[in-house]
Chain A
Amino acid sequence: MSSTDLAERQAVFMQQILDENAPLPQGWGNSQAAGMQVYRGNYRSALMDALGETFERTARYVGEGPFQQVAAHHAITHPPASWTIDDAGAGFDESCAQLFGNNPEVAELAWLEWSMLGLATARDAVPLDGEAFAEETARFGDTDWAAMKLVLAPRAVSKQVAHDLTAMWSALGDEPFEMGDIACDRPRGCLVWREGERPTFTMVDAEEAQAFGAIQSGATYGEVCMLLAGDNASEQAIGDAAMRAGAMLGRWLNEGMIVELA
């Protein structure tokens, strides 16, 4: 037996689990085929259970049958590679976007549930409070403010959305649920972070989600102001944008979304 035999056998075994139509390995008989059915069933039920637990509200919203369908599709298109089954839900919002193309709110809800799960196990961090922020910035001049970078709470995320996720989340807390009109009349944003040990989220204007995302990508406060002002902005527009950025900063500090100045 060569030193690669075990690796080859394990690759073939894994293929058997992933693809029930794969031909049986040489030398296998009925007893191995029956045993493989058990392993294949275990694999599928573990994945389906993990997805069902992570995307509880998404499952409730679309119903059991459609959820099983999208979960099976996701399991086939995203076979897990990570050592933790918690990662099985990565990309599930994209799977929902593919299968529920006429209902984009499903993918938004799945994104929110996935973000909340990630935040539950994020690194613990003490938020920067308004007083500490004031102390740190007390001697700032204009250039210091423009160059200021903010470090957001671990795994805090933002996204532009088109549906009222607060209303959806709240309605889906009950079973059976009643869902009103959830389409937003203009693009909105959603910020997700952790308050102490509790993942939470809030709906904001789309530009606030955009600004939050820019900060997360390493933009300075000055760059965020210019982003909000838009291209070829007048002095007045820049001033207005700076005011809006200041209001956002205040909210983020109050909500505990900022942990330090970089």
Chain B
Amino acid sequence: MSNSNDMIEPFGGFGLGLRRTHYEDFLEGDVPVDFVEVISENYMIEGGRQLRILEEIREKHPVIIHGVSMSIGSAGGLDSDYLDKLKQLERRIDPLWVSDHLCWTRTSAHNSHDLLPLPLTGEALDVVCANIDRARDHLGRPMLFENPSSYLTFPEDELTEWEFLCEMARRTGCYLLLDVNNIYVSSRNHGFSVDEYLSGLPLERVRQIHLAGHTPGEIIIDTHDREVCDDVWALYAKAMKALPQPVATMIERDDKIPPLPELLSELDRARGIASEACEAVLA
């Protein structure tokens, strides 16, 4: 696979989020994954064991670096120190690609350490696009941005989320990380159609899919603490049939992390669904 400064070539592998609990599995064994994804901020550090382990695992598997703190939607712009440290990590690891979320996390005074929702307005779109351009210029490569799960919408919204993502990708040339569970969570919380969402996206810009579990309730919460539910698997199958190019699929688990074989079994289910989707399209 080759990625020029402006392009990210499709990559159709299956991978897992690398978590500390599984370090030894990855260091000592031959884990059947095509890539691992790490949370960027955990490795934007100066040295020590964690960074050394990531470098060792990088020798065995391609790595994707996925951030939670770029705050691409911050009206105050991006944090230069953050960008510098992300670039250092990017140079050190040479990842398949770098991704973050369509959200904001901080103001100039405080950081929420949570993925906060943006009002879907023309002004927010301008801010996001300007920040994406700056991030791309700083890193020297385009990024992927993930559709968030959200728990409220704003009275001032002017666009749907898929319209916002579509315009964002068109104006900046960025790519999309499609979190299928997030589509499901937000659709249930806000009452939109998942089919309308999927068909409204520029699917040719999608390079990766996230699959995760959520906590049901009056408001569904994206907790990443359990297995992917059947409805999300069904939506994944639908997305895989609709996507015009191969994409990387990943299982995300951040809490109540089970032994590795359980996650690999979920990944096998994703492989099966992707394979069926591919056969259905070819037929």
Contact = CB atoms under 8 A, between A and B. Distances in A.
B159 to A, nearest CB: 14
B81 A32 contact: no
Nearest to A85: B113
Contacts of B119: 6, 9
Contacts of A18: 110
A43 B112 contact: yes
A79 B152 contact: no
Interface string B93-132: 0000000000011110111111010010111100100000
Given A6-B119, A84-B44, A35 B112 contact: no
Nearest to B70: A83
B219 A35 contact: yes
A14 interface: yes
Interface in A6-49: 6-7, 9-11, 13-14, 17-18, 27-28, 31-32, 34-36, 38-39, 42-43, 46-47
Given A10-B107, A83-B81, A47 B113 contact: yes
A81 interface: yes
Residue with the highest number of chain A CB atoms closer than 10 Å, among B76, B107, B112, B123: B112
Contacts of B116: 10, 13, 39
B48 A80 contact: no
B187 to A, nearest CB: 15
A120 B76 contact: no
A206 B45 CA distance: 32
Contacts of A14: 106-107, 109-110, 112
Contacts of B79: 83
A47 B218 CA distance: 24
Q: Range of interface residues on chain B?
A: 35 or more
A5 B112 contact: no
A10 B51 CA distance: 34
B221 A79 contact: no
Residue with the highest number of chain A CB atoms closer than 10 Å, among B41, B48, B124, B153: B48
Contact of A7 (B52, B76, B112, B155): B76
Contacts of A17: 112, 114
A11 B104 CA distance: 11
A11 B219 contact: no
Residue with the highest number of chain A CB atoms closer than 10 Å, among B107, B111, B156: B111
Given A39-B151, A121-B47, A197-B52, A46 B121 contact: no
A122 to B, nearest CB: 6
The majority secondary structure among interface residues of chain B is loop
Nearest to B156: A27
Contacts of B113: 43, 46-47, 50, 80, 85, 88
A39 B150 CA distance: 9
A120 B48 contact: yes
Interface in A85-135: 85, 88, 119-125
Contacts of B256: none
A125 B48 CA distance: 10
B147 interface: no
Contacts of B150: 35
A154 interface: yes
A262 interface: no
Contact of B123 (A1, A42, A125): A1
B74 interface: yes
Contact of B152 (A32, A81, A88): A32
B191 to A, nearest CB: 10
B50 interface: yes
Contact of A1 (B74, B81, B114, B121): B121
Given A10-B75, A34-B219, A123 B114 contact: no
Contacts of B218: 34
A35 to B, nearest CB: 3
Contacts of B151: 34-36, 38-39
Contacts of A232: none
B46 A122 contact: yes
A145 B110 CA distance: 47
Contacts of A32: 152-155
Contact of B41 (A27, A39, A84): A84
A82 interface: yes
Interface in B75-89: 75-76, 79, 81-82
A83 B112 contact: no
15 contacts: A1-B123, A10-B74, A27-B155, A35-B153, A39-B116, A43-B113, A80-B113, A83-B105, A83-B106, A85-B113, A119-B48, A120-B49, A121-B45, A154-B46, A154-B47
Interface of A: 1, 3-7, 9-11, 13-14, 17-18, 27-28, 31-32, 34-36, 38-39, 42-43, 46-47, 50, 79-85, 88, 119-125, 154, 194, 197-198
Given A6-B127, A35-B151, A43-B113, 17 more contacts: A4-B75, A6-B121, A9-B154, A14-B110, A27-B156, A31-B152, A31-B153, A35-B219, A81-B110, A81-B111, A82-B111, A83-B69, A120-B48, A121-B51, A122-B46, A122-B48, A197-B48
